[in-house]
Amino acid sequence: MLPIDQLIKPLTRDQVKESMYRLLTAAGLQVTSWQEGGVARTIIAVCAAIFAGFTEVIALAIRANFLDLAEGIWLTLLAYYVYGVTRIEATFASGQVTLVNTGGGVYEFEPGEFFCRNPTTDAHYTNVSAFTLGAGQTLTIDVRAVEAGAGGTSSAGQISSLVTAMLYVTVSNATAIVGRDQELDPALRQRCRDALGSLSPNGPEAAYVYWAKSAKRSDGTTVNVNRVWVSKSSSTGQVRVIVASPSGAVSGTIGDLTTDLGAVNHAIQTKVVPLPATCTVESAVPVAIAVTGTAWVMAAANLGGPAWQAMFYDQLDNYLSEAPIGGYVLTVAPGRIYQNAIIGQVESVSKSVIKFDATGPGDTSLAVGEVPVSGVHSIAVNQVS
């Protein structure tokens, strides 16, 4: 019996040709006398190319039977037909913007009637809920990107343009708003493992995590939740679940199934919580982390300061959008976002980054229920010849 590592490894053309020549030699044919470019060798080469391609398909099909080995569409099929898990499509970036009305106008909007944009990327955003902006008022509202995917991501301070006409009104985002492309293979594999926990009637932690990330809104789209914290065992049957989106907070209201938080709560209450237990679902509290410092880069990379800054800020946005609720707990609470890790993120952007000296914010402690998000970063760039 062949070991699994050989079964999942396709053969190259040369390997197939070598095997065919070996078999023909064993059959008594004088293959060494065949001329290069002759009919016999050409036929062998064509057959080898076809069979090598066939072994690639065979290897993929074999890998598709194992959760840790399946990839791409094969993993999508395995997740759906074996684990009952559907790969999450691209999610809509969601977060908050602040409107400042310095004039005397009063503006009222129903959901989806207000629009603003990031002038750098031209990503557009619309309001999630109805709101009224009074004269001289400052108001923070929940918004969602018009288009799904990572293209809807905006770093802190990038949303500064109104599409909807509002005289004497300005718009800004104090923290990053982050969208996600289609669910990657590692995340899908983990949800498949979490799905096994959802089969238990006793409400294990994996079940809460799975349904929090897999909950759907009333329109059938998947909620934008990528981080979940579940309280440990309780002698009183009380469970606390805290959820976060890539942008930090999860917008909505418990009981309103049209909102993300309402949809998550409904999924957990109906799919997970055992009859004797009670569960409280809440949104994580965002803690903005603004990174400041100076980066030294190689001038030979031929990139200007703004281009470097955009790369640094994107890297930091992605890193903080995946950091766990409560931060990284090394031994005992509280958890933290460590400055050394932030330095590593900036320096890993390119081999042309020589060094990054961070002046802030240092190690940031996070309480239970707090989640890190990107604040307004400020990184100076020095070009080194």
Q: Sketch the domain layout of the chain as residue ranges.
A: 4-63, 91-180, 198-283, 287-384
| Secondary structure of 31-91 as H, E, C letters | HHHCCCCCHHHHHHHHHHHHHHHHHHHHHHHHHCCCCCCCCHHHHHHHHHHHHCCCCCCCE
pLDDT at 219: 83
Query: 11: helix, coil or strand?
Result: coil
280 Cβ neighbours under 8 A, 6+ residues apart: 238, 239, 240, 241
pLDDT-derived band at 254 (thresholds 50, 70, 90) equals: very high
List strand residue ranges (DSSP E) for the chain, in order: 91-101, 107-109, 115-117, 124-127, 131-133, 138-145, 161-162, 169-172, 178-180, 227-230, 238-244, 278-283, 285-289, 292-298, 335-337, 353-360, 364-366, 370-374, 378-384
Decide if pLDDT at 158 tops 80. Answer: yes
pLDDT at 202: 54
Decide if pLDDT at 66 tops 80. Answer: yes
Mean pLDDT of 339-358: 97
pLDDT at 1: 62
Q: For the domain 91-180, what is the CATH code?
A: 2.40.30
Decide if pLDDT at 7 tops 80. Answer: no
Query: 327: helix, coil or strand?
Result: coil
What rounded mean pLDDT belongs to the chain? 92
Mean pLDDT of 172-196: 92
The region of weakest confidence among 142-146, 159-163, 200-204 is 200-204
pLDDT at 232: 84
CB of 45 within 8 A of CB of 17? yes
Mean pLDDT of 80-93: 92
Highest mean pLDDT among 2-16, 38-52, 83-97, 154-168: 154-168
Decide if pLDDT at 133 tops 80. Answer: yes
pLDDT at 203: 57
CB of 179 within 8 A of CB of 92? yes
Compute the Cα dihedral for 79, 148, 219, 207 and give only its sign. positive
- For residue 79, give Cα distances in angstroms to 85, 90, 247: 5, 17, 27
Half-sphere exposure of 153 (CA within 13 A, CB side): 25
- As a whole number of angstroms, the distance between CA 282 and CA 268 comes to 12
Decide if pLDDT at 159 tops 70. Answer: yes
Tell me the residue length of the chain.
385
Mean pLDDT of 23-51: 88
What is the percent of the chain where pLDDT is above 90? 74
